[in-house]
Amino acid sequence: MKTILVSIAGLTPQVITETLYYYLIEKKPQVCIHEVKILTTLQGKQKITETLLDKKSGQFFAFCRDYGINPKDIEFDESSIVVLGGDAPIEDITSDKDSAVIGNEIVKFIKEISMVEGAKFIYSIAGGRKTMTAYLSPWQFSYMAKMKIY
C-alpha cells in the first residue's frame, strides 16, 4: 500500500524533512513514505524549491544522504508542490478572501487525493499559516477510522 505524506508548508519548509525524519527514522515501527504532496503559496513554493529540492544543496537530498535513503524511493520534486489559488496563485495569505480561496482548495485537494486507490495518508499540519492548517486538521481525524490513516 502506498503512503502519501500531505503537508502544509510556508516559509519554514524544514517541517517537511522533520516530518520525514520522524516517520522514516524515529517512529517505531518505521513508516515507509512513498510520496510527498505539499500545499503552499507562491512564496512557499519558491522557498521549498530553493531550500529542499536543489539537487546539490537541497536539504531533502542532504537528509536522504545522511540517512542512507535513495531519494528516488520518495516521489518528491517540484511537481509535488501544489500552489493554492488556482488560476490566480496566492503569493501570501493577506486577506479574508485569500483565506477563503485557500480553504476551499485545501478541502477540494484532500477530497480528491482521498480517492486514490490503495493509498493511505499522513497529514502534517506543522507548517504554513495556521488558517491553512485549520482547514487540513479536521481531515486528519474524520478520515482516520475510515481510510486507515496514520
pLDDT of residue 46: 94
Cβ atoms within 10 Å of 71's Cβ, excluding its own:
16
Task: Flag whether pLDDT at 18 surpasses 50.
Answer: yes
Tell me the residue range of the domain where 66 lies: 2-147
Domain at 58, CATH number: 3.40.50
**Sequence-ordered alpha helix ranges (H) in the chain:** 14-21, 42-51, 59-66, 96-113, 130-142, 144-147
Task: Note whether 137 and 125 are within 8 A (CB).
Answer: yes
Q: Per-residue pLDDT for 130 more than 50?
A: yes
Reported as a pLDDT band with limits 50, 70 and 90, residue 9 is: confident
Q: What is the pTM of this model?
A: 0.81
Q: How many domains does the chain have?
A: 1
